[in-house]
Structure 1
């Protein structure tokens, strides 16, 4: 079945792409098989992360950016991540509503994903879904994060360019700066720039960037600030040009290889830590670690020593 889906995907079958993404979301063993088979076909897409607080207009902004990319004949993939309800386990997955005019465009593939409890603004399977869209032949893949505010930092491990969207009057600009979101952004967008308070927001961002002037000079890239009104399209062209400039900077400076190497390291660490966590959990459920747990309860062994013993035992098994 998987081989058939991959062959259909290579021929441009969107339904096969959707089915492959569903499999990597829901079935870990099939996800492994899929990624093993398509991985040689990946590495060609450029990934743009779009993050920022709820209500900043990220989805509307993306709708306009898709149009800009399509004007240049680029094949576009979009992954929009929505939060999962802790009560019902469901997710609205409504971002596609704002981008529905692109649904019939053969050069655009839009997929909504639920976080399913993952923190950091991204779904656990986002990385694998990106690989499927990359293998499908997307030139650029936009990843829109949940919009949970101060923990939206996982996107920097996923995207080649990170666009941070804010709006005047949210009152969270200083909080975002304190939380370190300033550190992950390659481009700042002040959306809804027709609102009162736009100049103050831009001033605050510029001031913060000025305080880190030495760091930007060392990196070779100072994040630009772009004013947009996504509902009218104002500033969208300028934002797309800023994204392309950063893309060119990443490629010519060699930083894209550096970033992708770090991404590979993080991905391997995540897979290994997940593997260990699942096996420890399974062993505890089967009662295989009851003696170790009891020794910690009786204060005969500390938790760190117990964890070290379990980890070494698991690695020896491998």
Structure 2
């Protein structure tokens, strides 16, 4: 495919078109991933997550500008809420990083969730693969910011930066399970406002409660709007990556994420097969009717349907 060759040679437009192919799940999307896969695995994937209003876009903007000073090629996937009318992204994150769009060493892609839960879009993983093959040294995924259930980023990133801000709630918020458990680095943004030190203390207390950590995540206080302590955050990101490489955790983490991805792909394909085979002969409708009449139970019907397909 000509587009792939152009992308591998650094053509930004070809990269954008390939991402559109996988995002829209066109017929050739699987073939694209098959052909580029051997060129992946070189980029450091950083996930930036946290609640709405935490300043994730501003933080991403400042971090990317710092990376560009080190002459690094950067890809940004900004996951935005989806328009209920067009199905596209509402581009809020991209607007905040507008001045980066003209930088030839930066590729920005806004991506709508399209109803996919967990803070990422369905095509995020494949977009990471394309940007990786494109030659990005760093790929930053900024999640949509949906709250405490936003944990899918841990399945796609090497380093997860969890962003908090003062004033989101009491100290109970900082010890809740879920999103607070996935952070490799905790960042308190807007640290120039009242309550920032308290927020950092609460996060540290939460980390102290976890006795099963091989590495204690650092807590960094920054003010992204004033470009304060962004270099310190970058230093912690690099330290985390080096630690994972030395300890063999990076390979382990990526292997686990690939296993998760493979299971999801198999599940998706099986779902298509089951629906296709059972819809054609009306077996699913018959089973549903029997369940409504309490003539059988869901597990018995599941086994009957699977026995006819497998």
TM range (shorter): over 0.9
Deviations 1:250-293 (A, max 9, x none): 11110011101111110011111111223333445434323333
Answer yes or no: is 1:258 the counterpart of 2:258.
no
Match of 2:242 among 248, 254, 268: 248
Q: What's 1:204 paired with?
A: 202
Q: Is the 8 A contact 2:54 2:164 kept in 1?
A: yes
Q: For 1:215, what is the secondary structure of its paired residue?
A: coil
Answer yes or no: is 1:228 the counterpart of 2:206.
no
Deviations 1:162-205 (A, max 9, x none): 00001011217633531422210000000000010011111111
Q: For 1:29, what is the secondary structure of its paired residue?
A: coil
Q: What's 1:17 paired with?
A: 15
How far is 1:94 from its partner?
2.1
Q: Give the aligned CA root-mean-square deviation in angstroms.
A: 1.7
Q: What's 1:300 paired with?
A: 295
Q: Distance in 2 between matches of 1:113 and 1:176?
A: 29
Q: What's 2:184 paired with?
A: 186
Moved more, 167-176 or 66-75: 167-176
When residues 282 and 172 of structure 1 are mapped into structure 2, their CA distance, relative to the original with a 3 A threshold, is farther
Q: Is the 8 A contact 1:276 1:311 kept in 2?
A: no
| Structure 2 stretches lacking a partner, 5+ long | none
Written as runs of structure 1 = structure 2, the 5 A alignment for 1:77-226 is 77-86=75-84, 89-171=87-169, 174-175=172-173, 177-212=175-210, 214-216=211-213, 219=214, 221-226=215-220
Q: Is the 8 A contact 1:150 1:176 kept in 2?
A: no
How far is 1:298 from its partner?
3.2
| Structure 1 stretches lacking a partner, 5+ long | none
Q: For 1:54, what is the secondary structure of its paired residue?
A: coil
Count matched residues: 309
Q: What's 1:38 paired with?
A: 36
When residues 264 and 172 of structure 1 are mapped into structure 2, their CA distance, relative to the original with a 3 A threshold, is farther
Moved more, 269-278 or 176-185: 176-185
Q: Distance in 2 between matches of 1:72 and 1:89?
A: 36
Q: Is the 8 A contact 1:149 1:176 kept in 2?
A: no
Moved more, 30-39 or 85-94: 85-94
How far is 1:313 from its partner?
3.6
Q: What's 1:238 paired with?
A: 232
When residues 141 and 203 of structure 1 are mapped into structure 2, their CA distance, relative to the original with a 3 A threshold, is same
Point out 4+ residue stretches in structure 1 off by more than 6 angstroms: none
Q: Distance in 2 between matches of 1:308 and 1:203?
A: 52
Q: Distance in 2 between matches of 1:241 and 1:275?
A: 42
Q: Distance in 2 between matches of 1:30 and 1:90?
A: 21
Q: For 1:286, what is the secondary structure of its paired residue?
A: helix
